[in-house]
Amino acid sequence: MATRTERRRVLKISLPGSAARGSAAPGVAVQRADLLAVEEPLEIRIGGTPLTVTMRTPGDDTDLAAGFLFGEGLIDPAGPREIRMCDENVADVTLAAAPLPRDVERATDARRAQRNFLTTSACGVCGKESIESIRVQSRYDIAADPVRVSPEVLASLPDRLRETQRVFASTGGLHAAGLFSPDGRLLVLREDVGRHNAVDKVVGWALRTGRLPLAGHILLVSGRASFELVQKACMAGIPVLAAVSAPSSLAAGLAEEAGLTLVGFLRGASMNAYTGTSRLALTQPPSRSSRAAPV
């Protein structure tokens, strides 16, 4: 089984006046053991031909490979015929049998989508050949999804996500993505050093278990909501994306264009709804604030 944490000796330094939990006495430096989240490369191949390398936390690698390829538009919801782990860091994907012209088309698409550089755990679209190739068209009509979600349910999700983040609890160094039902029930959680990898693992799980499209579901991410995460949610047919931090302007623009409900700064009892606000089951109509936005 792949190791997700690694033990390392560190020098713990506590300055005078600090009172952090688990820290040494103020003004003292001590040697202690610490757990780090593992980061290793995963090479994804199609039919033995290398396609890309992504930095990830080992575990759920077949989900990661499936989710990545689906998000790139290289496989359909039926999924690949087989994903074989050649070793701990190589996933070889065999596409479903199809007539020769379709196989040629898929191979051509794969070459066009191939990354020129290593995909880091921080960025899921680094290395694309052109700006135009970043956008991938979803096959699902997100705007037509009629699901309604209460803000009270949304507010409860970060705590539920955190309670299930076992590796984060021991390292403090992983992102998480969780898929929830409209009533707040956690269906699956995946952790990874990369935000995009965690979402790919969730989508790959859904693909491999025959659950796509994920209509009527909520995707919660532990960090910010970037363009790539909105796009991955759209590709999987997810109508609601919530993040504990801020979205980017491009993420909000894509969400609005696709009809996706985008919620950011989901912390405690407050949140910001940027797009798709008609899906939020408010107990009273919104009022217009007279306060200017902070500069």
At 192 the three-state DSSP class reads: strand
Q: Which of 27, 3, 24 is nearest to 12 (CA)?
A: 24
Q: In what order do the strands lie in the sheet with 40-46?
A: 49-56, 40-46, 90-94, 82-87
- Catalytic site residue from 86, 123, 126, 234: 123
Pairs from 157-166 (Cβ < 8 Å, separation ≥ 24)? 157/184, 157/218, 157/220, 157/242, 157/266, 158/220, 158/222, 158/244, 158/266, 158/267, 160/184, 160/186, 161/186, 161/189, 161/220, 161/222, 164/189, 165/189, 165/191, 165/222, 166/191
Is there a catalytic annotation at residue 123?
Answer: yes
* Alpha carbons 195 and 223: distance in angstroms, whole number: 7
The residues annotated as belonging to the active site are 123
